[in-house]
Structure 1
Amino acid sequence: MPRVKLVIEYDGTRYVGWQVQLNGRSIQAELREALGKLLGAPVDVVAAGRTDSGVHATGQVVCFDTERQFPLKAYFRGLNGLLPEDIAVVRAEEVAPEFDPRRWSRGKRYRYRVSNRPTRSPMRRHTHWEIYAPLQVEAMASAARHLLGRHDFSAFRASDCQAAHAVREVRRLDVEGAAGDAVSFVVEGTAFLKHMVRNLVGTLVEVGKGRRPEAWVEQVLASRDRTQAGPTAPPQGLVLEEVFYGEGPPPRTAGDSADVFDDEP
Protein backbone atom coordinates (compact mmCIF):
# COMPACT_ATOMS: atom_id res chain seq x y z
CA MET A 1 0.00 0.00 0.00
CA PRO A 2 1.66 3.28 -1.06
CA ARG A 3 2.37 5.94 1.57
CA VAL A 4 2.25 9.47 0.20
CA LYS A 5 3.91 12.51 1.75
CA LEU A 6 2.49 15.97 1.03
CA VAL A 7 3.91 19.40 1.80
CA ILE A 8 1.06 21.84 2.31
CA GLU A 9 0.69 25.58 2.68
CA TYR A 10 -2.19 27.28 4.41
CA ASP A 11 -3.54 30.52 5.76
CA GLY A 12 -4.81 29.54 9.20
CA THR A 13 -6.98 32.61 9.75
CA ARG A 14 -10.33 30.84 9.30
CA TYR A 15 -9.41 27.61 11.09
CA VAL A 16 -9.27 26.29 14.64
CA GLY A 17 -5.83 24.86 13.90
CA TRP A 18 -4.46 21.73 12.27
CA GLN A 19 -6.25 19.12 14.36
CA VAL A 20 -9.90 18.12 13.97
CA GLN A 21 -11.98 19.76 16.70
CA LEU A 22 -15.67 20.11 17.51
CA ASN A 23 -15.70 23.91 17.67
CA GLY A 24 -14.92 24.71 14.04
CA ARG A 25 -13.23 23.76 10.78
CA SER A 26 -9.65 22.51 10.87
CA ILE A 27 -6.94 22.11 8.26
CA GLN A 28 -6.89 18.36 8.90
CA ALA A 29 -10.65 18.08 8.30
CA GLU A 30 -10.46 20.02 5.02
CA LEU A 31 -7.57 17.90 3.73
CA ARG A 32 -9.18 14.65 4.82
CA GLU A 33 -12.42 15.61 3.09
CA ALA A 34 -10.64 16.52 -0.16
CA LEU A 35 -8.61 13.28 -0.11
CA GLY A 36 -11.77 11.27 0.47
CA LYS A 37 -13.32 12.81 -2.64
CA LEU A 38 -10.19 12.26 -4.72
CA LEU A 39 -9.58 8.67 -3.61
CA GLY A 40 -13.19 7.59 -3.19
CA ALA A 41 -12.64 6.34 0.36
CA PRO A 42 -11.99 7.78 3.86
CA VAL A 43 -8.33 8.58 4.53
CA ASP A 44 -6.48 9.03 7.82
CA VAL A 45 -4.06 11.96 7.62
CA VAL A 46 -1.22 12.61 10.09
CA ALA A 47 1.01 15.67 10.27
CA ALA A 48 4.49 16.62 11.43
CA GLY A 49 2.99 18.75 14.18
CA ARG A 50 -0.10 20.64 15.24
CA THR A 51 -0.51 24.33 14.59
CA ASP A 52 -2.84 26.42 16.73
CA SER A 53 -5.87 28.45 15.69
CA GLY A 54 -4.84 31.31 13.40
CA VAL A 55 -1.32 29.97 12.79
CA HIS A 56 -0.12 29.60 9.20
CA ALA A 57 2.21 27.21 7.35
CA THR A 58 4.26 27.15 4.18
CA GLY A 59 5.89 23.79 4.91
CA GLN A 60 3.56 21.56 6.92
CA VAL A 61 4.24 17.87 6.18
CA VAL A 62 1.50 15.23 6.18
CA CYS A 63 1.23 11.65 5.03
CA PHE A 64 -1.42 9.02 4.38
CA ASP A 65 -1.80 5.49 3.03
CA THR A 66 -3.91 4.63 0.02
CA GLU A 67 -4.71 1.58 -2.07
CA ARG A 68 -5.20 3.71 -5.17
CA GLN A 69 -2.33 4.17 -7.62
CA PHE A 70 -2.29 7.76 -8.86
CA PRO A 71 0.50 9.74 -10.52
CA LEU A 72 1.96 12.14 -7.99
CA LYS A 73 0.80 15.18 -9.91
CA ALA A 74 -2.78 14.13 -9.15
CA TYR A 75 -2.21 14.85 -5.50
CA PHE A 76 -1.39 18.50 -5.98
CA ARG A 77 -3.40 19.26 -9.11
CA GLY A 78 -6.39 17.17 -8.10
CA LEU A 79 -6.38 18.12 -4.44
CA ASN A 80 -5.89 21.81 -5.16
CA GLY A 81 -9.05 21.69 -7.22
CA LEU A 82 -10.93 20.32 -4.21
CA LEU A 83 -9.36 22.26 -1.34
CA PRO A 84 -10.48 25.77 -0.31
CA GLU A 85 -8.39 28.65 -1.62
CA ASP A 86 -6.53 29.13 1.66
CA ILE A 87 -5.06 25.59 1.65
CA ALA A 88 -2.81 24.17 -1.08
CA VAL A 89 -0.60 21.16 -1.73
CA VAL A 90 2.80 22.36 -2.95
CA ARG A 91 4.65 19.03 -3.26
CA ALA A 92 3.90 15.29 -3.26
CA GLU A 93 6.12 12.21 -3.14
CA GLU A 94 5.87 8.52 -2.34
CA VAL A 95 7.81 7.55 0.80
CA ALA A 96 8.79 4.41 2.68
CA PRO A 97 5.91 2.56 4.38
CA GLU A 98 7.47 3.22 7.78
CA PHE A 99 7.81 6.99 7.25
CA ASP A 100 6.30 8.96 10.13
CA PRO A 101 6.15 12.76 9.67
CA ARG A 102 6.52 13.35 13.42
CA ARG A 103 8.94 10.66 14.54
CA TRP A 104 11.21 11.07 11.52
CA SER A 105 11.45 14.84 11.93
CA ARG A 106 14.91 16.17 12.74
CA GLY A 107 13.66 19.64 13.48
CA LYS A 108 11.40 22.49 12.41
CA ARG A 109 11.77 26.12 11.47
CA TYR A 110 9.20 28.72 12.41
CA ARG A 111 9.04 32.38 11.48
CA TYR A 112 7.18 34.90 13.59
CA ARG A 113 6.34 38.18 11.86
CA VAL A 114 5.83 41.57 13.48
CA SER A 115 4.61 44.71 11.74
CA ASN A 116 6.38 47.63 13.41
CA ARG A 117 4.85 50.45 11.43
CA PRO A 118 3.62 53.44 13.51
CA THR A 119 0.06 52.87 12.25
CA ARG A 120 -2.05 49.79 11.64
CA SER A 121 -1.73 47.88 8.39
CA PRO A 122 -4.92 46.40 6.87
CA MET A 123 -2.81 44.07 4.69
CA ARG A 124 -0.89 42.64 7.65
CA ARG A 125 -3.63 42.24 10.23
CA HIS A 126 -3.98 38.47 9.66
CA THR A 127 -0.27 37.74 9.14
CA HIS A 128 1.64 39.93 11.62
CA TRP A 129 1.55 41.06 15.22
CA GLU A 130 1.14 44.83 14.94
CA ILE A 131 3.34 46.76 17.39
CA TYR A 132 3.36 50.51 16.80
CA ALA A 133 6.17 51.69 19.11
CA PRO A 134 9.64 51.31 17.51
CA LEU A 135 11.40 48.12 18.58
CA GLN A 136 15.08 47.87 19.48
CA VAL A 137 16.01 45.14 17.00
CA GLU A 138 19.68 44.85 17.99
CA ALA A 139 18.77 44.48 21.66
CA MET A 140 16.32 41.66 20.86
CA ALA A 141 18.91 39.92 18.69
CA SER A 142 21.46 40.12 21.50
CA ALA A 143 18.98 38.84 24.09
CA ALA A 144 17.99 35.96 21.80
CA ARG A 145 21.50 34.48 22.07
CA HIS A 146 20.76 33.49 25.67
CA LEU A 147 18.10 31.10 24.37
CA LEU A 148 20.30 29.12 21.99
CA GLY A 149 21.23 25.56 22.91
CA ARG A 150 19.65 22.76 24.88
CA HIS A 151 17.77 24.00 27.96
CA ASP A 152 14.76 23.43 30.15
CA PHE A 153 12.24 25.82 28.56
CA SER A 154 9.62 25.52 31.30
CA ALA A 155 9.42 29.33 31.49
CA PHE A 156 8.19 29.38 27.89
CA ARG A 157 5.61 26.57 27.88
CA ALA A 158 1.85 27.00 28.12
CA SER A 159 0.28 26.16 31.46
CA ASP A 160 -1.68 23.28 29.89
CA CYS A 161 1.27 21.88 27.90
CA GLN A 162 1.15 18.07 28.01
CA ALA A 163 4.79 17.36 27.10
CA ALA A 164 6.54 14.90 29.43
CA HIS A 165 9.43 17.30 29.99
CA ALA A 166 10.47 20.80 28.91
CA VAL A 167 14.01 20.14 27.64
CA ARG A 168 14.35 21.29 24.05
CA GLU A 169 17.18 22.43 21.78
CA VAL A 170 16.99 25.76 19.95
CA ARG A 171 19.51 25.71 17.11
CA ARG A 172 18.74 29.10 15.63
CA LEU A 173 16.98 32.24 16.84
CA ASP A 174 17.56 35.20 14.53
CA VAL A 175 15.91 38.60 14.67
CA GLU A 176 15.68 40.14 11.21
CA GLY A 177 14.34 43.37 9.80
CA ALA A 178 14.26 47.00 10.89
CA ALA A 179 12.38 49.08 13.41
CA GLY A 180 9.50 50.96 11.85
CA ASP A 181 8.79 48.30 9.23
CA ALA A 182 8.72 44.47 9.39
CA VAL A 183 10.61 42.40 11.96
CA SER A 184 10.89 38.60 11.88
CA PHE A 185 11.96 36.08 14.52
CA VAL A 186 13.32 32.92 12.88
CA VAL A 187 13.36 29.98 15.29
CA GLU A 188 14.74 26.54 14.50
CA GLY A 189 14.90 23.61 16.88
CA THR A 190 14.45 19.91 17.40
CA ALA A 191 10.87 20.30 18.63
CA PHE A 192 8.79 22.78 20.57
CA LEU A 193 6.53 23.00 23.59
CA LYS A 194 2.99 24.33 23.42
CA HIS A 195 3.13 28.07 22.65
CA MET A 196 6.92 28.02 23.09
CA VAL A 197 7.76 30.08 20.00
CA ARG A 198 5.07 32.64 20.76
CA ASN A 199 6.26 32.91 24.37
CA LEU A 200 9.86 33.36 23.25
CA VAL A 201 8.77 36.16 20.93
CA GLY A 202 6.59 37.80 23.56
CA THR A 203 9.54 37.82 25.96
CA LEU A 204 12.00 39.25 23.42
CA VAL A 205 9.53 41.97 22.51
CA GLU A 206 9.61 43.13 26.15
CA VAL A 207 13.32 43.76 25.57
CA GLY A 208 12.60 45.39 22.21
CA LYS A 209 10.19 47.82 23.84
CA GLY A 210 12.86 48.79 26.38
CA ARG A 211 10.88 47.42 29.31
CA ARG A 212 13.52 44.83 30.22
CA PRO A 213 17.32 44.57 29.86
CA GLU A 214 18.87 41.95 27.60
CA ALA A 215 20.21 39.93 30.56
CA TRP A 216 16.65 39.50 31.89
CA VAL A 217 15.96 36.85 29.22
CA GLU A 218 18.70 34.63 30.65
CA GLN A 219 17.19 35.05 34.12
CA VAL A 220 13.76 34.06 32.84
CA LEU A 221 15.16 30.92 31.21
CA ALA A 222 16.96 29.92 34.43
CA SER A 223 13.82 30.49 36.52
CA ARG A 224 11.81 27.78 34.71
CA ASP A 225 8.78 29.83 35.77
CA ARG A 226 6.25 30.82 33.12
CA THR A 227 5.04 33.77 35.20
CA GLN A 228 8.48 35.37 34.90
CA ALA A 229 8.41 35.52 31.08
CA GLY A 230 6.69 37.93 28.72
CA PRO A 231 3.18 37.60 27.28
CA THR A 232 2.22 35.06 24.63
CA ALA A 233 2.47 36.67 21.20
CA PRO A 234 -0.78 36.41 19.18
CA PRO A 235 -1.11 33.49 16.77
CA GLN A 236 -1.47 35.28 13.43
CA GLY A 237 2.23 36.17 13.22
CA LEU A 238 3.42 32.56 13.35
CA VAL A 239 4.30 30.45 10.27
CA LEU A 240 5.58 26.87 10.17
CA GLU A 241 8.13 27.24 7.37
CA GLU A 242 9.88 23.88 7.12
CA VAL A 243 10.18 20.43 8.65
CA PHE A 244 13.60 18.80 8.32
CA TYR A 245 14.19 15.12 7.53
CA GLY A 246 17.14 12.81 6.96
CA GLU A 247 17.28 9.35 5.41
CA GLY A 248 15.41 7.80 8.31
CA PRO A 249 14.34 8.44 11.89
CA PRO A 250 16.88 10.36 13.95
CA PRO A 251 18.70 8.51 16.73
CA ARG A 252 17.06 8.81 20.13
CA THR A 253 18.49 8.29 23.57
CA ALA A 254 16.65 7.51 26.78
CA GLY A 255 14.70 10.54 27.92
CA ASP A 256 14.75 12.18 24.49
CA SER A 257 11.65 10.58 23.01
CA ALA A 258 9.44 13.51 23.94
CA ASP A 259 11.52 15.75 21.67
CA VAL A 260 9.64 14.49 18.64
CA PHE A 261 6.31 15.76 19.92
CA ASP A 262 5.47 19.41 19.74
CA ASP A 263 2.15 21.04 20.39
CA GLU A 264 0.91 24.27 18.85
CA PRO A 265 4.05 26.43 19.10
Structure 2
Amino acid sequence: MKRIMLIVSYNGANYCGWQKQNNAISIEEVINTKLKELLKEDICVIGASRTDAGVHAKGNVAVFDTETTIPPEKIAYALNARLPQDIRIQESREVRADFHPRYDKNNKKYSYRILNTKINVPIYNEYTMHASNYLDIELMKNAAQYIVGEHDFKSFCAANTGVKTTVREVYSLEITKNNNDIITIEITGNGFLYNMVRIIVGTLIQVGTGKIKPEYVAEIIAAKDRSKAGPTAKAKGLTLEEIYY
Protein backbone atom coordinates (compact mmCIF):
# COMPACT_ATOMS: atom_id res chain seq x y z
CA MET A 1 0.00 0.00 0.00
CA LYS A 2 1.31 3.44 -0.90
CA ARG A 3 0.03 6.98 -0.30
CA ILE A 4 -0.24 9.25 -3.33
CA MET A 5 -0.47 13.03 -3.26
CA LEU A 6 -2.39 14.94 -5.94
CA ILE A 7 -2.07 18.65 -6.71
CA VAL A 8 -5.58 19.52 -7.89
CA SER A 9 -6.76 22.55 -9.86
CA TYR A 10 -10.36 23.25 -10.74
CA ASN A 11 -12.97 25.74 -11.80
CA GLY A 12 -15.48 25.50 -8.99
CA ALA A 13 -18.39 27.11 -10.85
CA ASN A 14 -20.20 23.85 -11.61
CA TYR A 15 -19.71 22.12 -8.25
CA CYS A 16 -21.21 22.21 -4.76
CA GLY A 17 -17.67 22.51 -3.40
CA TRP A 18 -14.89 20.05 -2.60
CA GLN A 19 -16.73 17.89 -0.06
CA LYS A 20 -19.20 15.21 -1.06
CA GLN A 21 -22.85 16.14 -0.51
CA ASN A 22 -26.18 14.51 -1.16
CA ASN A 23 -28.01 15.52 -4.35
CA ALA A 24 -25.12 17.63 -5.68
CA ILE A 25 -21.88 17.05 -7.57
CA SER A 26 -18.65 17.68 -5.65
CA ILE A 27 -15.05 17.75 -6.80
CA GLU A 28 -14.13 15.07 -4.27
CA GLU A 29 -16.83 12.75 -5.60
CA VAL A 30 -15.76 13.19 -9.23
CA ILE A 31 -12.12 12.43 -8.40
CA ASN A 32 -13.08 9.37 -6.33
CA THR A 33 -15.21 8.02 -9.17
CA LYS A 34 -12.52 8.49 -11.81
CA LEU A 35 -9.81 7.00 -9.58
CA LYS A 36 -11.99 3.95 -9.02
CA GLU A 37 -12.39 3.55 -12.78
CA LEU A 38 -8.64 3.91 -13.30
CA LEU A 39 -7.30 1.81 -10.43
CA LYS A 40 -10.16 -0.70 -9.99
CA GLU A 41 -10.14 0.04 -6.25
CA ASP A 42 -12.53 1.83 -3.91
CA ILE A 43 -10.82 5.19 -3.36
CA CYS A 44 -11.65 7.99 -0.91
CA VAL A 45 -9.37 10.97 -1.29
CA ILE A 46 -8.59 13.24 1.67
CA GLY A 47 -8.50 16.91 0.72
CA ALA A 48 -6.42 19.61 2.37
CA SER A 49 -8.97 22.37 1.87
CA ARG A 50 -12.71 21.73 1.63
CA THR A 51 -13.48 24.69 -0.60
CA ASP A 52 -17.05 25.99 -0.84
CA ALA A 53 -19.38 25.95 -3.82
CA GLY A 54 -18.11 28.23 -6.57
CA VAL A 55 -14.59 28.57 -5.14
CA HIS A 56 -11.70 27.72 -7.47
CA ALA A 57 -8.30 26.15 -6.85
CA LYS A 58 -4.98 26.25 -8.59
CA GLY A 59 -3.21 24.03 -6.07
CA ASN A 60 -5.43 22.16 -3.64
CA VAL A 61 -3.86 18.99 -2.24
CA ALA A 62 -5.38 15.53 -1.79
CA VAL A 63 -4.07 12.10 -0.89
CA PHE A 64 -5.28 8.52 -1.23
CA ASP A 65 -3.96 5.04 -0.51
CA THR A 66 -3.62 2.47 -3.27
CA GLU A 67 -2.05 -0.85 -4.18
CA THR A 68 -1.68 0.07 -7.85
CA THR A 69 1.48 -0.71 -9.77
CA ILE A 70 1.07 2.39 -11.94
CA PRO A 71 4.07 4.67 -11.32
CA PRO A 72 2.93 7.52 -9.02
CA GLU A 73 3.96 10.26 -11.45
CA LYS A 74 1.88 8.67 -14.25
CA ILE A 75 -1.38 8.72 -12.30
CA ALA A 76 -1.93 12.42 -13.03
CA TYR A 77 -1.84 11.87 -16.79
CA ALA A 78 -4.10 8.83 -16.67
CA LEU A 79 -6.58 10.57 -14.37
CA ASN A 80 -6.69 13.74 -16.49
CA ALA A 81 -7.73 11.63 -19.48
CA ARG A 82 -10.86 10.68 -17.54
CA LEU A 83 -11.68 13.86 -15.64
CA PRO A 84 -13.95 16.65 -16.96
CA GLN A 85 -12.23 19.69 -18.44
CA ASP A 86 -12.81 21.84 -15.35
CA ILE A 87 -10.78 19.55 -13.03
CA ARG A 88 -7.09 18.85 -13.63
CA ILE A 89 -4.36 17.05 -11.69
CA GLN A 90 -1.18 19.11 -11.94
CA GLU A 91 1.05 16.54 -10.25
CA SER A 92 0.94 13.11 -8.62
CA ARG A 93 3.67 11.65 -6.42
CA GLU A 94 4.22 9.24 -3.55
CA VAL A 95 4.45 10.66 -0.03
CA ARG A 96 5.13 9.12 3.35
CA ALA A 97 2.41 6.80 4.65
CA ASP A 98 1.40 9.06 7.56
CA PHE A 99 1.28 12.32 5.58
CA HIS A 100 -2.03 14.11 6.11
CA PRO A 101 -2.80 17.11 3.87
CA ARG A 102 -5.02 18.78 6.46
CA TYR A 103 -3.21 18.05 9.74
CA ASP A 104 0.45 18.27 8.69
CA LYS A 105 1.70 21.81 9.35
CA ASN A 106 1.07 24.00 6.33
CA ASN A 107 0.60 27.55 5.06
CA LYS A 108 -1.97 28.57 2.47
CA LYS A 109 -2.10 31.25 -0.18
CA TYR A 110 -5.44 32.54 -1.52
CA SER A 111 -6.28 35.14 -4.11
CA TYR A 112 -9.47 37.10 -4.64
CA ARG A 113 -10.28 38.93 -7.88
CA ILE A 114 -12.61 41.91 -8.24
CA LEU A 115 -13.60 43.38 -11.58
CA ASN A 116 -13.86 47.11 -10.82
CA THR A 117 -15.75 48.55 -13.80
CA LYS A 118 -19.00 50.53 -14.04
CA ILE A 119 -20.50 47.83 -16.28
CA ASN A 120 -19.76 44.14 -15.87
CA VAL A 121 -17.65 42.33 -18.48
CA PRO A 122 -19.24 38.85 -18.76
CA ILE A 123 -16.09 36.99 -19.85
CA TYR A 124 -14.74 37.45 -16.31
CA ASN A 125 -17.92 36.29 -14.56
CA GLU A 126 -16.77 32.89 -13.35
CA TYR A 127 -13.66 33.99 -11.48
CA THR A 128 -14.25 37.62 -10.48
CA MET A 129 -16.73 39.49 -8.34
CA HIS A 130 -18.01 42.64 -10.05
CA ALA A 131 -17.89 45.92 -8.10
CA SER A 132 -19.36 48.88 -10.00
CA ASN A 133 -18.35 51.53 -7.45
CA TYR A 134 -14.78 52.80 -7.76
CA LEU A 135 -12.41 51.13 -5.27
CA ASP A 136 -9.39 53.08 -4.04
CA ILE A 137 -6.71 50.41 -3.72
CA GLU A 138 -4.39 52.78 -1.82
CA LEU A 139 -6.98 52.98 0.96
CA MET A 140 -7.35 49.21 0.79
CA LYS A 141 -3.57 48.77 1.08
CA ASN A 142 -3.55 51.00 4.15
CA ALA A 143 -6.23 48.85 5.73
CA ALA A 144 -4.38 45.65 4.84
CA GLN A 145 -1.48 46.50 7.16
CA TYR A 146 -3.78 46.08 10.18
CA ILE A 147 -4.66 42.54 9.07
CA VAL A 148 -1.10 41.29 8.64
CA GLY A 149 0.29 39.61 11.75
CA GLU A 150 -1.05 37.31 14.44
CA HIS A 151 -4.52 38.29 15.64
CA ASP A 152 -7.75 36.88 16.95
CA PHE A 153 -9.80 36.91 13.73
CA LYS A 154 -13.14 36.13 15.35
CA SER A 155 -14.66 39.20 13.63
CA PHE A 156 -13.68 37.67 10.29
CA CYS A 157 -15.12 34.22 10.91
CA ALA A 158 -18.59 32.93 10.07
CA ALA A 159 -20.76 32.71 13.17
CA ASN A 160 -21.10 29.41 15.05
CA THR A 161 -17.89 27.95 13.64
CA GLY A 162 -16.69 25.19 15.93
CA VAL A 163 -12.95 25.81 16.22
CA LYS A 164 -10.72 25.65 19.30
CA THR A 165 -9.18 29.04 18.62
CA THR A 166 -9.81 31.91 16.21
CA VAL A 167 -6.20 33.13 16.43
CA ARG A 168 -4.41 32.99 13.10
CA GLU A 169 -1.33 34.61 11.56
CA VAL A 170 -1.48 36.40 8.21
CA TYR A 171 2.01 36.62 6.72
CA SER A 172 1.25 38.88 3.78
CA LEU A 173 -1.65 40.69 2.12
CA GLU A 174 -0.95 42.29 -1.25
CA ILE A 175 -3.34 44.26 -3.46
CA THR A 176 -2.72 45.04 -7.14
CA LYS A 177 -4.75 46.24 -10.12
CA ASN A 178 -4.11 45.33 -13.77
CA ASN A 179 -4.91 47.04 -17.06
CA ASN A 180 -8.26 45.21 -17.29
CA ASP A 181 -9.40 46.85 -14.02
CA ILE A 182 -9.16 43.56 -12.14
CA ILE A 183 -8.07 44.04 -8.54
CA THR A 184 -6.25 41.01 -7.09
CA ILE A 185 -5.97 40.52 -3.35
CA GLU A 186 -3.38 37.88 -2.38
CA ILE A 187 -3.24 36.65 1.19
CA THR A 188 -0.90 34.08 2.78
CA GLY A 189 -1.18 32.71 6.29
CA ASN A 190 -0.77 29.73 8.59
CA GLY A 191 -4.46 28.92 8.43
CA PHE A 192 -7.81 30.52 7.68
CA LEU A 193 -11.13 30.37 9.47
CA TYR A 194 -14.36 29.56 7.67
CA ASN A 195 -15.14 32.44 5.26
CA MET A 196 -12.23 34.44 6.71
CA VAL A 197 -10.73 35.49 3.37
CA ARG A 198 -14.11 36.43 1.90
CA ILE A 199 -15.04 38.51 4.97
CA ILE A 200 -11.66 40.27 4.83
CA VAL A 201 -12.33 41.06 1.16
CA GLY A 202 -15.83 42.33 1.95
CA THR A 203 -14.33 44.62 4.60
CA LEU A 204 -11.57 45.87 2.28
CA ILE A 205 -14.23 46.69 -0.33
CA GLN A 206 -15.98 48.87 2.25
CA VAL A 207 -12.66 50.64 2.83
CA GLY A 208 -12.11 51.05 -0.92
CA THR A 209 -15.50 52.73 -1.39
CA GLY A 210 -14.89 55.06 1.54
CA LYS A 211 -17.65 53.56 3.70
CA ILE A 212 -15.16 52.91 6.51
CA LYS A 213 -11.69 54.32 7.19
CA PRO A 214 -8.60 52.08 6.93
CA GLU A 215 -7.77 52.43 10.62
CA TYR A 216 -11.23 51.17 11.59
CA VAL A 217 -10.05 47.68 10.61
CA ALA A 218 -7.97 47.61 13.80
CA GLU A 219 -11.16 48.28 15.79
CA ILE A 220 -12.97 45.49 13.92
CA ILE A 221 -10.24 43.02 14.89
CA ALA A 222 -10.27 44.17 18.52
CA ALA A 223 -14.07 43.84 18.73
CA LYS A 224 -14.03 40.07 18.08
CA ASP A 225 -17.55 40.50 16.74
CA ARG A 226 -18.63 39.24 13.31
CA SER A 227 -21.25 41.99 12.98
CA LYS A 228 -18.53 44.69 12.99
CA ALA A 229 -16.81 43.42 9.82
CA GLY A 230 -17.96 43.77 6.23
CA PRO A 231 -20.14 41.33 4.27
CA THR A 232 -18.91 37.98 2.99
CA ALA A 233 -17.69 38.50 -0.59
CA LYS A 234 -19.03 36.15 -3.27
CA ALA A 235 -17.42 32.72 -3.58
CA LYS A 236 -16.64 32.96 -7.29
CA GLY A 237 -13.85 35.53 -6.83
CA LEU A 238 -11.85 33.25 -4.53
CA THR A 239 -9.05 30.92 -5.61
CA LEU A 240 -6.92 28.64 -3.43
CA GLU A 241 -3.55 29.27 -5.04
CA GLU A 242 -1.13 27.03 -3.18
CA ILE A 243 -0.53 25.03 -0.01
CA TYR A 244 2.98 24.95 1.43
CA TYR A 245 4.21 22.09 3.66
TM-score class normalised by the smaller sequence:
over 0.9
Contact 2:149 2:170 in 1 (8 A): yes
Superposed displacement of residue 111, structure 1: 0.2
Shift of residue 132, structure 1, vs aligned partner: 1.2
Q: Which amino acid aligns with 1:197?
A: V
Aligned to 1:172: 172
Q: Counterpart of 2:3?
A: 3
Aligned residues: 245
CA contact 1:118–1:180 (8 Å) conserved in 2: no
* Greater than 4 Å deviation, 4+ residue runs: none
What letter matches 1:87 in structure 2? Answer: I
Which stretch shifts more, 194-203 or 125-134? 125-134
Taking the aligned partners of 1:61 and 1:73, their CA distance within structure 2 comes to 15
Per-residue deviation at 1:69?
1.5
Residue 31 of structure 2 is matched in structure 1 by 31
Q: How does 1:130-209 map to 2 (within 5 A)?
A: 130-177=130-177, 181-209=181-209
Match of 1:54 in 2: 54
Instruction: State the AA in 1 paired with 2:83.
Output: L
Which letter does structure 1 place at the counterpart of 2:74? Answer: A
2:16 alignment partner in structure 1 = 16
For 1:225 and 1:13, the matched residues in 2 are separated by 31
Aligned to 2:110: 110
Give the TM-score normalised by the residue count of structure 1: 0.90
Pick closer, same or farther for the CA change 1:89–1:227 going to 2, 3 Å.
same
Alpha-carbon offset, residue 23 of structure 1: 3.5
Match status 1:74 vs 2:74: yes
Cα 1:22/1:143, change in 2 over 3 Å: same
Contact 1:135 1:179 in 2 (8 A): no
In the TM superposition, what is the alpha-carbon distance from 1:121 to its structure 2 partner? 1.1
Which moves more between the two structures, 69-78 or 118-127?
A: 69-78
Instruction: List per-residue Cα deviations over 1:130-153 (Å, max 9, x = no partner).
Output: 001111001101101001111110
Q: Deviations over 1:16-68 (max 9, x none)?
A: 10000114100000000010001101112001111000000000000000011
Q: Residue 136 of structure 1 contacts residue 179 of structure 1 at CA under 8 Å; is this kept in 2? A: no
Amino acid at match of 1:65: D
Please list every run of 5 or more consecutive structure 1 residues that lacks an aligned counterpart in the other structure: 246-265
Identity of matched residues, %: 38
Q: CA deviation at 1:73?
A: 3.9
Contact 2:144/2:173 (8 A) holds in 1: yes
1:214 matched residue in structure 2: 214
Aligned-residue Cα RMSD (Å) equals: 1.2
Q: What's the TM-score once normalised by structure 2's chain length?
A: 0.97
Deviation of 1:106 (Å) = 1.9
Would the alpha carbon gap of residues 179 and 146 (structure 1) be closer, same or farther in structure 2, given more than 3 Å must change?
Answer: farther
Unaligned runs of 5+ in 2: none
Please give the alpha-carbon distance, in whole angstroms, between the structure 2 residues aligned to 1:231 and 1:117: 20
Change (3 A) 1:134 1:74: same
